Structure 1
Amino acid sequence: MEAKPSEEFYRVGRSNTGLGLFATDVIERGSFILEYMGLRISSEEVHCRRSARYLFEINSRWTIDGSPRWNTARYINHSCRPNAEAVVSRGRIRIKALKRIKPGDEITYNYGKSYFNTFIRPLGCKCQACTATRSRRTKTRRLRAE
């Protein structure tokens, strides 16, 4: 059975994309971080919900509505180069570290193609990897223009 870390290992704080979840202690690669929790709703109910931002599909029949503020995992932001992943197993969503996460690092995972195309792409991805890439491209264009 996995040991569940206390909330001492992470905190909610300001990030480039709003609120985010940050490590306060070292989280080793492969470690369980926390569980994405909320009300389990049927696929039929999903279509009636107005806000789809915190809906996490478990399978073709069930989805977890993670919108309650007590679901700390809802604060984990998207990244195109994440340091964590969401693992769906036995109807539960567990967030695990893909690599060693240092104190102060934001905990992120990839939200998937469907969510990305619906919510993130229209506004532009603001994850650290994409922001750095855009910055490098802008700098290169400026240097070429000179």
Structure 2
Amino acid sequence: MRVIALQEPFRVRRSETGLGLFATEVIEKGAFIIEYLGPKISNEEVQRRRNTRYLFEINSRWTIDGSPRWNTARYINHACRPNAEAVVSRGRIRIKAIKRIKPGDEITYNYGKNYFETFIKPIGCKCLTCRRTKPRQMKA
């Protein structure tokens, strides 16, 4: 029996904000892209942790710890005007396209208000939309 490995329609590479996930082929609107994976931990355990960067709450009792590097979805960066969204269903987090994504485009989704307020706002949003709309610095 011959097993054929299917190539994913994305790859991890350097982005403006660190590492990001980029489309390598067209991803149509509505298409499933990737699942956000990791151990399921109780929200009580979340409260005991110091680093909450890759934690994704799935309901009032459970959270996915997406910190393992084998969780390729952890490389999807935040955007205020994203091209994908996270859909939580039956304890799973699936990322799907909300727009047609072209090869070379970075795959992004909105991390939500709590994450934004805690991690992004204090240092300033660096998503493509915010970088384009920031007023230019005046030269002295």
TM-score, with normalisation over the residues of structure 2? 0.93
* Cross-structure match for 2:34: 34
Residue in structure 1 matched with residue 101 of structure 2 by the alignment: 101
Residue 132 to residue 31, structure 1, CA distance change in 2 (3 Å)? same
CA shift for structure 1 position 138? 1.6
Are the structure 2 counterparts of residues 11 and 85 from structure 1 closer, same or farther at C-alpha, using a change threshold of 3 Å? same
Secondary structure class of the residue paired with 1:47: helix
Which amino acid is the alignment partner of residue 20 of structure 2?
G
Number of residue pairs matched by the alignment: 135
Q: Give the drift of 1:50.
A: 1.6
Richer in helix (by share): 1
Runs of 4+ in structure 1 over 4 Å off:
none
Match of 2:9 in 1: 9
Once superposed, what is the RMSD of the aligned Cα atoms?
1.5
1:1-146 correspondence to structure 2 within 5 Å: 6-134=6-134, 137-138=135-136, 142=138
TM-score normalised according to structure 1 size: 0.89
How far apart are 1:48 and its partner, in Å? 1.2
Q: 1:7 to 1:114 in 2, by over 3 A?
A: farther
Task: Give 1:7 shift.
Answer: 4.3
Structure-2 separation of matches of 1:60 and 1:138? 42
Residue aligned with 1:111, SS: coil
Residue segments in structure 2 that go unaligned for 5+ positions in a row: 1-5
Opposite residue 115 of structure 2, the aligned amino acid is: Y
Structure 1's unaligned 5+ residue stretches are 1-5
Cα distance in 2 for partners of 1:107, 1:7 equals: 17
CA distance in 2 between counterparts of 1:131 and 1:86 reads 23
Distance change >3 Å, CA 7–CA 67, structure 1 → 2? farther
Q: Which amino acid aligns with 1:64?
A: I
- Residue identity (%): 75
Which residue number corresponds to residue 3 of structure 2?
none
Give the 3 Å change call, closer, same or farther, for CA 7–41 of structure 1 in structure 2.
farther
